[in-house]
Chain A
Amino acid sequence: MTGEFDVPKVEYALVLPLLVVFAGALIGVLIEALAPRVWRYQAQVGVAVSTLFAGLAATIQVGVGLEPLAGDVAARGDVVVEGALVVDGPSVFLWGVLLVLSLISVLLFAERRLEGGLTSFAGQAAALPGTDAERQASTRRIEHTEVFPLLMFAIGGMMVFVAAGDLLIMFVALEVLSLPLYLLCGLARRRRLLSQEAAMKYFLLGAFSSAFFLYGIALVYGYAGSFDLAAIDQAVSASTAGTPLLLAGIALIAVGLLFKIGAAPFHAWTPDVYQGAPTAVTGFMAACTKIAAFGALLRVFYVGFGGASWDWRPLIWIVAILTMVIGSLVAITQSDIKRMLAYSSIAHSGFILVGFVGLYAGSPAGEGLTSLSSVLFYLTTYGFSTLGAFAVVTLVRDAGGETTHLARWAGLGKTSPVLAGAFAFFLLAFAGIPLTSGFMGKWMVFAAAWAGGAWPLVIVAVLTSLVAAFFYVRVIVLMFFTEPGVDGPAVAVPSALTSSVIAVAVAVTVLLGVVPGPVLDLAQQAGAFVR
């Protein structure tokens, strides 16, 4: 041992998207420290948007340059940074989707017209609600522009999360994406107590689930002697029977990831947090966190534990059924639109899990429907509709801010038909009506699961999506076929930012329903995970 230091090999060209996003986040921090307060909003939004665009451009460049690998399964990409990251088709696809969705989220974050020229984030988060400090912050028109760098750190974490080739990196990424989210949840300008409570709950439960995740990693390390997913795969495949160490590790890692996607019985935080968090943050979490967590879940289970799939499949079956049933049944009784959307997102997690247990392995030519491509497609469709739906929620307001009680949404179709029409369209997409992206997504994951022999699960899924359709239709009936109350909701006129978010979401929801081909093709081209 001569203390010689091996310089790790870093493939800068391939991890460029990550570097760009983190660099943007750091610039955001510097702006916060150095720029005068009056310029910060403009500077932060500008930096965020340009960073995300640059990241997207870099992602596209990386994606175009990915070489197909020789092998019995169609795949492209490479293991980089000494095995810490895997830049393969699925990673790059998810990066692209995450970046586009976060670009849209930035627009929602930047909306200033609804709160009279300020963003919908607390003026001074440290001030106690109802104190002079809070009043001062609002009279002095202070706003937290830190939300933009926080958002970008979260996105960076998500991007690493879906590309991690190593359980330890994955854990670090999990924390990098979670911590900013905990903060963001507590930053609502209105109803601050509810928002802070949500942040606290999310933090405590998130920390709890991280502990499970970490403990699971430790057990798996004990079994395989490595954090590396490929090495774990070799260890798992080499032995004929699972050992308690491995199985307990798999179960605990699953708990940590299932928490993030909001699957039952680890879903309890979802409604509270979705309700309390600022709606723009809720939309971002509902879309992007779910995508990132599913990306990681798929990678860990297909790559690391693929050899033990007969051991974990029953667990996922049960969780999927529980999640779908609880999500769609409990949603029926919700009277708050954000809570209803939260339960709906739980149900959607269940539907995606159905696709997850389907037919994973593609054939050499990349033919046929695989779980991976169908889940990737579903996540894309779901992300856009969800962001759109939450964008609509930010607009239905009264004097006290957003009115999320369902009763106040009665007759919205009469007072503002375009907005209510857009919302109804998102709901139809969630319900999986043809010619919307939601139908194609559901169709893909169910068909993949069926092809993988999981037909009982598909029947449960179709039945629960029938129940889910019921509460979506209930909201549509409420909006269009009920007389508005005397103090019906006022719909705020948004700036171009929120309007364009809704317009883009509607357009994508239509397009992916009518001509899903190009995106499906991309998901298909992404190929399998590289190990």
Chain B
Amino acid sequence: MLPAEAGGGVPVLPVEAEGLFSLLWLIVALPALGAVLLLLGGRAVNRLGHLVGTAMSAGSFVVALVLFIGLLGRGEEERQVQQQLWTWLEVGDYTVDMGLLFDPLSAVFVLLITGVGSLIHLYSIGYMVHDERRGRFFAYLNLFVAAMLVLVLADDYLAVFLGWEGVGLASYLLIGFWAHKQSAAVAAKKAFIVNRVGDLGMSLAVMAMVATFSTSSFVGVSAGMPEASSGIATALGLLLLLAACGKSAQVPLQSWLLDAMEGPTPVSALIHAATMVTAGVYLVVRSNFIYAEAPVAQVAVMVVGLVTLLFGAVIGCAKDDIKKALAGSTMSQIGYMMLAAGIGPAGYAFAIFHLLTHGFFKANMFLGAGSVMHAMDDDVDMRHYGALSRALPITFVTFAAGYLAIIGFPGFAGFWSKDKIIEAAFAEGWIFGVGALLGAGVTAFYMTRVMLMTFFGDKRWRPEVHPHESPSVITVPLMVLGALSVVGGVLLLGGWITHWLEPVTGPEGEHELFVSALVLTAMVTLTVAIGVAVAWVVFGRQSVPDSAPQRVSWLTRAARNDLYGDAFNEAVFMRPGQQLVRGLVYVDDKIIDASVGGLAALVSGSSGQVRRSQTGFVRSYALTMLGGALVAVVATLAVTLA
């Protein structure tokens, strides 16, 4: 028996922040200050907005790096540092403190958010150079970074919820940044609404925590969990999973992510690939003390992860829009992380490991896609690309590094992280292992397709397009992220990442495999090779049609339509909802007026004069009231006296 499975998650036992760590609040405060300055500063600040914004983000990264090094130097039991800021609310014995928790888990997140975030700020300087609202754009970016940092640094679920809503708001503002495009405004609204469904899970979970434990702090909940009933634990686990599904675009709340690609490309890279969409994974890993008591919820997490990783991969195969193909792959890769997180202590570290490497290579590829779009006059259709490897050499090389990382080419970052997840999935159950393996093959297929359609084959450029390499402010972030995509796997050296996260997630434990790990790695690599080969046969050897073929299999058609996610939502939620609204409005306006009004006319009797001079509504309103009062009296009597 593994210690973690024997019962009991890892309680959160922080130490007070002192010395160097009293600077902790600066990590959040710097980007928040940037956002406030840029939003309120007016035109003068607006001109320098990009510099201010980037400096704030970079400053936050520096502080985070210093503190991270400080954390490295501490003993294992002192690596959870807590800083109290102020008491947010205090109602009797229920208190929510605004506090920050800097521990191994939040530390790696903070580094990812501020590090990749700063690179994307830098990139955006070049990417948004012609946009007259560039200052505003950087304000929103800073707002996002600040909110995301609150999300991962908060030490109380209610404060996490604050960051959770904050990133939702920033994401909404940034997706809709080019609101002159109708599609962007609609996509922004969709993202907001779908995310609210997830938030529902989060807020109910926090309420249930308060009702059960009289607290929503990590410390309190993790201490109280072992005594909680299994029903409460399962409910909490499922509610938090619902929240995670909304934010991380997991099935069934996946539909908003593909539309969110309407936002500017740096936004897609930062929010919808590297950071915000992984918040769900963070939430599950952070709540490990809840899932330790809720095996049913854990299985649910794994199932959601497995379904999504295949779902996203299939969508990725059929998209011609380069950003949407990448979005499908994001969904799929987060599915891997969820799967790993659902496994429990044996998977938490690998979920986070894959999250980090994914943050590097997916941000890299999104920014690369942005560079390609920049060269192609903002055309996103890969059928209009082809043979760009020579025109955009730096973009090509860095994108290729990301490509090799995501398919899991031996030695690259993704290879290490994905391999570990597949291994853990096999140890958990055949279905999960085979599904994850299959997903790796499909990933190889569609990423090779993207690669071939974009950088190889014939030129299918539109006549007026003359591709050229982007300026260095764009290519430098690409090179940094490309390098990280190659070497990101070093985090696993000597089991560093698993050991590092141990204070948060508990020891990894041993698992038994049906074959040796080496054989399994070979199987994964073989599957990937098959995926690449198939893609080569379909897209490399033949020329790519200029427009999407219409005579295609049902699967392709389904994948092009996002596997009917929208149609499903429409049929199940939207239409019945609209019917309900229409019905209610009808009842509110018409039926009361017509039938009751008719009755009212009868009641008011012969006086036609009076009837005509009246508005007609008053008496029907009065009759509704009378009816309501009668029902109220009768119901009250019936309930009690029956």
Contacts and interface: CB of A to CB of B under 8 A. Distances in A.
Contacts of A204: 618, 622
B580 interface: yes
A475 B626 CA distance: 35
A434 B165 contact: yes
Nearest to A451: B211
Interface string B417-439: 00000000000000000000000
Contacts of B635: 251, 314-315, 318
Contacts of B625: 205, 208-209, 212, 255, 259, 265-266, 268
B91 interface: yes
Nearest to A243: B641
Given A205-B622, A473-B192, A524-B91, A330 B585 contact: yes
B92 A330 contact: no
Interface string A352-372: 000000000011011111000
Interface stretch (B202-210, B264-272, B369-377, B461-469): B202-210
Contacts of A330: 581, 584-585, 588
Contacts of B161: 434
A68 interface: no
Contact of A367 (B87, B92, B199, B632): B92
B193 A201 contact: no
A516 B89 contact: yes
Given A329-B581, A520-B89, A450 B629 contact: no
A131 B572 CA distance: 56
Contacts of A444: 91
Nearest to B93: A367
A310 B592 CA distance: 32
Interface in B148-179: 158, 161-162, 165-166, 169, 176, 179
A473 B580 contact: no
Contact of B188 (A248, A310, A477): A477
Contacts of B158: 443
A90 to B, nearest CB: 16
B470 to A, nearest CB: 29
Nearest to B633: A251
A373 B207 contact: no
A255 B176 contact: no
Interface in A405-430: none
B97 to A, nearest CB: 11
Interface stretch (A225-233, A392-400, A458-466): A458-466
A517 B89 contact: yes
B630 to A, nearest CB: 9
A458 B615 contact: no
A151 interface: no
A255 B629 contact: yes
B207 to A, nearest CB: 5
A250 interface: yes
B189 A477 contact: yes
A181 to B, nearest CB: 17
Nearest to A452: B211
B615 A197 contact: yes
Interface in B570-613: 577, 580-582, 584-585, 588, 592
Given A201-B617, A201-B621, A447 B210 contact: yes
A269 interface: yes
Contacts of B94: 368-369, 447
Interface in A479-531: 480-483, 514-517, 520-521, 524
Interface string B184-228: 110011001100110110011001101100100000000000000
Contacts of B211: 447, 450-451, 455
Nearest to A259: B625
Contacts of B641: 242, 244, 247
A333 interface: yes
A373 B91 CA distance: 9
A252 B633 contact: yes
A204 B623 CA distance: 12
A200 B618 contact: yes
B84 interface: no
Contact of A265 (B92, B180, B628, B637): B628
A268 B639 contact: no
A434 B162 contact: yes
A403 to B, nearest CB: 22
A469 interface: yes
B542 interface: no
Give the 5 A-B CB pairs with smallest separation, nearest first.
A367-B92, A481-B179, A265-B628, A481-B185, A268-B621
30 contacts: A201-B617, A204-B622, A212-B629, A242-B641, A247-B640, A250-B636, A252-B633, A255-B632, A265-B627, A265-B628, A266-B628, A268-B625, A314-B636, A315-B636, A318-B635, A363-B92, A434-B162, A447-B211, A463-B200, A466-B197, A470-B196, A473-B192, A477-B189, A480-B179, A481-B179, A481-B188, A482-B185, A514-B88, A517-B88, A524-B91
